[in-house]
Amino acid sequence: MPDVSKNSVTRATIGEDEQGQRLDNYLLRVCKGVPKSHIYRILRSGEVRVNSKRADAAYRIQAGDILRIPPIRVAARPDEVAAAEVAGQAVKADLPLLYEDDALLAVNKPAGIAVHGGSGVSFGVIEALRHQRPQAKLLELAHRLDRETSGILLVAKKRSALTALHDMFREGGAGRGADKRYLVAVQGRWMDPLRHCRQALHKYLLDNGERRVRVDPEGKPSHTVFRLVARWQRFSLLEAELKSGRTHQIRVHLAHLGYPILGDDKYGDFALNRELQREGLKRMFLHAWRMRFPHPLTKEAMSLEAPLPPALASFLHHLSESEVQDYGEAF
């Protein structure tokens, strides 16, 4: 990754690990702290050249391409610098590595941290990782988790691994894809040991621009498999297996079935959530606990697990002490 100069033209030769990505995305990555508007301005004006020619923002860079990047003088705001420092420290303290090799790494993301910046969030997991590892040639999210969800998050360290992981997640649970499992606590007494939900989902925006999802026959095909793990008088613990990867899929499917996730501030029971906060559950009970997948480069069978966070484990222990449990092992 080149160090873009503030005072002179930067020339960068694209390597094999960098090829295939859009030119605008590459510039946004290497020109840290530069507003998107400035990146697109220098692209439109022709100041950025690829092999001595103008190039569109959507151009896919290739290995061996020579980029000319003009001097970029943008002063970082003190609050952004401070945010970067805080985010970098958070990775070291709060994002333990579950696995790492030359192609990818897996972190155990805590609830309350976005996977990337945007929508009022200056820094997320990926920006923090890049801040911690300034010499890394590539660090890109292979998939996403909701901000309120904890658990396994994969990050690619090579372009070839990123492409393979994206293909794998598109295949879902169809044999060659990733097997992603979540632990989720819901309101109500779930009775079926195994249940499939295939309700189509449609994404839309509220008047304030916030993203929401609803069940809609005209939406995108979606499939979640639920397995009963434990059941108490008022609540149930399920394992959710994603067969597709739609936004808020588990949350919306469960709300539609009449079993909202405990602590869900978008689709849950808000009055119950306030009551649970007083009992100690101050977050959504949704945790990506296990993932099995073929390694993106070696094809070796991989199996990763993220232990249940202490706050969620403590809540289950509290349930087992305060309510009769009639299904599953004691916690």
Return averaged pLDDT per consecutive 10 residues of the chain, 331 residues in all. 75 86 86 82 92 92 92 60 51 74 95 77 79 85 93 95 89 66 98 97 88 94 96 97 93 98 96 94 97 95 96 94 90 68
Residue 188 lies in a domain: yes
In a domain, 2, yes or no: no
Same domain, 204 and 134: no
Backbone angles phi, psi at 106, to 5 degrees: -125, 130
What is the structure's pLDDT at 85? 54
Number of domains in the chain: 3
What is the reported pTM? 0.76
Asked if residue 182 and residue 137 are part of one domain, the reply reads: no
> 142 and 199 share a domain?
no
In a domain, 3, yes or no: no
In this structure, are 110 and 21 located in the same domain?
Answer: no
* Residue 228 per-residue DSSP state: E
CB 155 within 8 A of CB 304: no
Residue 172 lies in a domain: no
Residue 82: count other Cβ atoms within 10 Å of its Cβ.
Answer: 12
CA dihedral defined by 112, 116, 121, 127, rounded to 10 degrees?
110
Residues facing residue 88 across a β-bridge:
none
Q: Are 65 and 147 within one domain? A: no
Please report the pLDDT score of residue 136 as a whole number.
Answer: 86
What's the CA gap between 301 and 97, in Å, rounded?
A: 19
Q: Tokens 């899929």 label which residue?
A: 249
For residue 161, being part of any structural domain is answered with no
Residue 37 lies in domain: 10-69
Nearest 5 degrees, angle CA 135-CA 140-CA 146?
130
Residue 163 falls within a domain, yes or no?
no
Final residue of a structural domain among 46, 69, 92? 69
For residues 62 and 85, state if they share a domain: no
On whether the CB atoms of residues 132 and 92 are closer than 8 A, the answer is yes
Q: Please check whether residues 108 and 240 belong to one and the same domain.
A: no
The last residue of a domain, from among 52, 69, 86: 69
Distance CA 68, CA 5 (A): 11
**Distance between CA atoms of residues 228 and 238, nearest Å:** 5
Residues 297 and 188 in one domain: yes
Place of tokens 């439109």: 44
Does residue 327 lie within any of the structural domains? Answer: no
Q: Does the residue 166 lie in any domain? A: no
Of the three residues 156, 188, 212, the one that is the final residue of a domain is: 156
- DSSP summary character for residue 112: T
Specify the pLDDT at position 174.
44
CATH number at residue 20: 3.10.290.10
Reply yes or no on whether 146 is catalytic: yes
State the catalytic residue, choosing from 17, 56, 65, 146.
146
For residues 190 and 317, membership in a common domain is answered with: yes
**Three-state DSSP state, 138:** coil
